[in-house]
């Protein structure tokens, strides 16, 4: 889940997701955070939003009730709420399309129990809204989940319903989570021991150990990004950076990288 960045002519706040956008492709950042061009919702987003809500609510139940059937029910209940919202209304052309999507979604959710056992722990935080001032940089976002491991150290987990990348490409996916770890250190004074990407589609769990040196480096990286975004806002220069992401980018049809012919 993301929080939109408010950007007039200088940067006021930044979310980990939008910071990742700028790092990947400044033009993508411009479309999303500056021009605020809405993206069409997809069945994948619908699945992600609904699964996040179901997984969040699973931990409202007592430990013994956190079963696969209960998670499936929570998914159905969450979808009943979400499908009625303006954003997702009429997403499926036919009832059969929606039914098949539901079946696939429950199969993915069943994978969750092969990665971890929700009856063995209680999260410290879920859907934690964060706004932290890092010496002049206001960073905001929503963290999926935080737990304490057996030795009491903090562990941050992010749920993913998309397909897990191969391990060699997984490191960039930790970018936003390292920012959240930085925010947690700023808020609590404790350095999280680990960040985890939990991919239901795989299923795969990627884990990355965290220490202060990494978070100091992330702070410097974020500061450089913030300055680069400020420069881009001042000059209006948001160069497109074409790459593999373009194949999934909602803005491809209007992106200068694909619509402007070379001189
Ligand atoms: S189509 Fe590619 S280059 Fe253009 S905004 Fe999207 S990611 Fe960036």
pLDDT in tens, the chain (263 residues): 444 444 457 788 999 999 999 999 999 999 999 999 999 999 999 999 999 999 999 999 999 999 999 999 999 999 999 999 999 998 999 999 999 999 999 999 999 999 999 999 999 999 999 999 999 899 999 999 999 999 999 999 999 998 888 887 788 889 999 999 999 999 999 999 999 999 999 899 999 999 999 999 999 999 999 999 999 999 999 999 999 889 989 999 999 999 976 55
Q: What DSSP designation does 32 have?
A: I
Q: Which two tokens stand for residue 253?
A: 């049809």
The answer to whether 42 and 249 are in contact (CB under 8 A) is no
Ligand 1 centroid – CA 210 distance (Å)? 31
> What pLDDT is attached to residue 210?
97
Confirm or reject: Cβ of 246 under 6 Å from ligand 1: yes
Ligand 1 atom closest to Cα of 242? 3
Confirm or reject: Cβ of 30 under 6 Å from ligand 1: no
Burial class (CB in 10 A: 0-12, 13-18, 19+), 235: exposed
Ligand 1 atom closest to Cα of 255? 4
The answer to whether 197 and 45 are in contact (CB under 8 A) is no
Q: Rounded to whole angstroms, how far apart are CA atoms 231 and 228?
A: 5
Best residue among 18, 25, 250 to mutate for probing ligand 1, ranked by most atoms within 8 Å of CB: 25
Best residue among 257, 258, 259, 260 to mutate for probing ligand 1, ranked by most atoms within 8 Å of CB: 257
> What pLDDT is attached to residue 263?
54
Confirm or reject: Cβ of 249 under 6 Å from ligand 1: yes
Confirm or reject: Cβ of 255 under 6 Å from ligand 1: yes
Q: Rounded to whole angstroms, how far apart are CA atoms 25 and 233?
A: 14
Question: Ligand 1, atom 5: nearest CA belongs to which residue?
Answer: 28
- pTM (two decimals): 0.91
Q: Rounded to whole angstroms, how far apart are CA atoms 20 and 44?
A: 20
**3-state class (DSSP) for residue 130:** strand
Contacts of 216 (CB under 8 A, 6+ apart): none
Confirm or reject: Cβ of 252 under 6 Å from ligand 1: yes
**3-state class (DSSP) for residue 36:** coil
Confirm or reject: Cβ of 250 under 6 Å from ligand 1: no
Confirm or reject: Cβ of 27 under 6 Å from ligand 1: yes
């Amino acid at each position: 889940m993301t929080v939109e960045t408010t950007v007039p002519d200088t940067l006021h706040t930044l979310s980990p997701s939008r910071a990742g956008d700028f790092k990947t492709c400044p033009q993508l950042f411009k479309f999303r955070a500056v021009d605020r061009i809405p993206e069409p919702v997809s069945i994948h987003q619908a699945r992600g939003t609904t699964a996040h809500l179901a997984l969040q609510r699973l931990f409202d139940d007592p430990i013994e009730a956190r079963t696969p059937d209960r998670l499936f029910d929570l998914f159905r209940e969450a979808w009943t709420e979400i499908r009625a919202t303006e954003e997702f209304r009429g997403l499926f052309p036919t009832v059969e399309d929606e039914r098949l999507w539901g079946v696939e979604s429950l199969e993915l959710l069943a994978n969750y129990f092969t990665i971890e056992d929700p009856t063995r722990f209680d999260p410290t935080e879920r859907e934690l809204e964060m706004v932290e001032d890092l010496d002049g940089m206001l960073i905001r976002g929503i963290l999926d989940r935080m737990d304490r491991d057996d030795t009491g150290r903090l562990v941050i987990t992010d749920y993913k319903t998309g397909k897990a990348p191969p391990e060699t490409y997984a490191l960039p996916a930790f970018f936003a989570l390292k920012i959240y770890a930085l925010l947690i250190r700023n808020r609590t004074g404790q350095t999280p021991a680990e960040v985890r990407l939990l991919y239901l589609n795989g299923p795969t769990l990627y884990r990355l150990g965290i220490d202060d040196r990494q978070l100091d480096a992330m702070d410097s990286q974020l500061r450089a990004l913030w300055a680069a975004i400020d420069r881009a806002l001042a000059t209006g220069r948001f160069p497109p950076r074409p790459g593999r992401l373009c194949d999934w980018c909602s803005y491809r049809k209007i992106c200068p990288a694909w619509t402007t012919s070379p001189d």
